[in-house]
Structure 1
Amino acid sequence: MSILSSAADVLRCFSVTRNELTVTEVSSVLGLPKSNVSRLLRAMRDAGFLETVGETKRYRPGLLLHQTGHIYRFATSLIDRTDAIVARVAAEIGHTGYISMRRGGEVVGITVHPGRNILRVVSTIGDRISAFASSTGRALLARLPDDEVRKLYAQGFVPPSATAPQTLDDLITRLAAIRRAGFAESHDEAVRGVGAISVAVGDPVTGDEAALCISYPASTVTPHERTRIIAALGEGAAEIAAVIGDKRFIPVRFPIEEKSL
């Protein structure tokens, strides 16, 4: 394993709820010898990727990462545009909104807007979930040709729940339905008890693609709320697609069918 790969693995150990780590904690998470981890963390500190917390033996992301993340966040127009739409919809509907991007067979949350409802769903930004078993992931996978999806899951997958796609053919069938409807929906799949609705849009210039998502406790959303969420996300994504020239955008089809995709 290269030092870059090892450094990337260390950075993935951090999250919003785990923003400081010790050598022992990283060693436990990655299953590596403490001596190796200690040398790696010191090297990352010297390069500016990490910094020590005061006089303690704890590490946190360094200034270089903060600067890079700041540049990435505000220089990526697609994220800016989609985040503005999701913020607006989340405020109107009251449920939590996300922007997610696909990385291979997984999706990762980029931004979040917590809902105002008493019962609300909030997941950690940066955590990765399976693309095939999430509305965000399937909305993005639906933008790919079926043969690319089959290559992506050539080794198969293990469904996390009974409501997730059970086979590759099942996934392909659901993606076809998403292309017809213009949105993806999940219920009690990658995260138990959680429902979500997503649409996807992409920038033809940069190649970036993002999923706009509203999530909620699956048992609480009403048919009226569901329709409002689908319509609001679809209209917002259509605005972005028109501005940036997304020829692969899949518009929401009305009237909205009452079935999970």
Structure 2
Amino acid sequence: MTILENAAHVLRCFGNDCTDLTVSEVSDRLGLPKASASRLLKTMRETGMLEEIGGTRRHRPGRMMLNIAAAYRYSSSVFGRARAVVHETSQQFGHTGYVSIRDGRSVMAVADFEGTNALRVGSAVGRRLPAEICATGRSLLARLSDDEIARLYGDEPTADRLARDLEPVRKRGYAFVSQQAMPGVDGLAVAVGDPVTGEAVSLCLVYPHNLVSDSERDDMIGTLVEGAGGIAEALGDSLLLHAAGDRAPA
């Protein structure tokens, strides 16, 4: 692999469950000799991608990454709109909300809004989850065709089951997952995209399974779908606009 590919692999390691790395950890994760891992981190420090934490020999993302993250958010036609809808919905119902993106078979929250209820689900910004097990992932995967899903998952045993799970998501326009990504936690998600840029994000609420009634869940679904629908109308997202109106969770 090139040094650029290795640098990208290092950056993908970071998240809320991995805030810093040592040379040894990079060596283990990337399967590199320690000398090569040391040279790689040195180059990443010199270019501003990483910075060393004091004299600990641990490395975290450099401040340059903040500028890159800000540029992504401000350049995205759909992110700002999704962020506003999720923030408002989270405040209305008191449950934690996310805006997430898909990277291959994984999804990752890039913005979150902590719920106001006494019992709520904590933040997961930066944490990667398998797309097929969570509401955000399924809402984004449902925007792909069956052929695209087949290419993404190949001959894996989950591919056929996933194709069946995604069909009702496409028809309803939202995904509902109960206690699959995390025990005791349910998730609701609606994905919306910009047909011009091809980017798509998922608007999601997560909440403790035992604390939400069916009627409150349906209210949250309706609010998320309505908010995402407004974004879809503004951007011309036909994939969401053409979703059927059946909103009863599977």
Same fold (TM over 0.5): yes
User: Corresponding residue for 2:192?
Assistant: 201
**5+ unaligned residues in a row in structure 1: which ranges?**
158-166
Q: Give the SS at the match of 1:219.
A: helix
User: Corresponding residue for 1:220?
Assistant: 211
User: Corresponding residue for 2:176?
Assistant: 185
User: Corresponding residue for 1:132?
Assistant: 132
Superposition misfits of 4+ residues, deviation over 4 angstroms: 250-255
Gap change, CA 1:122 and 1:30, over 3 Å in 2? farther
| TM-superposed deviation, 1:27 | 3.1
Question: Deviation per CA, 1:202-244, whole angstroms, max 9, x where unpaired?
Answer: 0011100111000112222211210111011000001101111
CA distance in 1, matches of 2:66, 2:235: 28
User: Corresponding residue for 1:89?
Assistant: 89
User: Corresponding residue for 2:11?
Assistant: 11
User: Corresponding residue for 2:35?
Assistant: 35
User: Corresponding residue for 2:99?
Assistant: 99
Given that 1:114 and 1:122 are in contact with CA atoms closer than 8 Å, whether structure 2 keeps it comes out as: yes
| TM-superposed deviation, 1:97 | 0.4
* Structure 1 or 2: more helix by fraction: 2
CA distance in 1, matches of 2:216, 2:241: 21
| TM-superposed deviation, 1:26 | 2.8
CA distance in 2, matches of 1:206, 1:80: 14
Percent identical pairs in the alignment equals 43
Given that 1:231 and 1:252 are in contact with CA atoms closer than 8 Å, whether structure 2 keeps it comes out as: no
**5+ unaligned residues in a row in structure 2: which ranges?**
none
CA distance in 2, matches of 1:19, 1:29: 14
| TM-superposed deviation, 1:25 | 3.3
Q: Give the SS at the match of 1:248.
A: helix
RMSD across aligned C-alpha pairs, in angstroms?
1.9
Count residues in correspondence.
250
Given that 1:179 and 1:250 are in contact with CA atoms closer than 8 Å, whether structure 2 keeps it comes out as: no
**Worse overlay, 87-96 or 64-73:** 64-73
Q: Give the SS at the match of 1:25.
A: helix
CA distance in 2, matches of 1:156, 1:122: 32
CA distance in 1, matches of 2:151, 2:194: 23
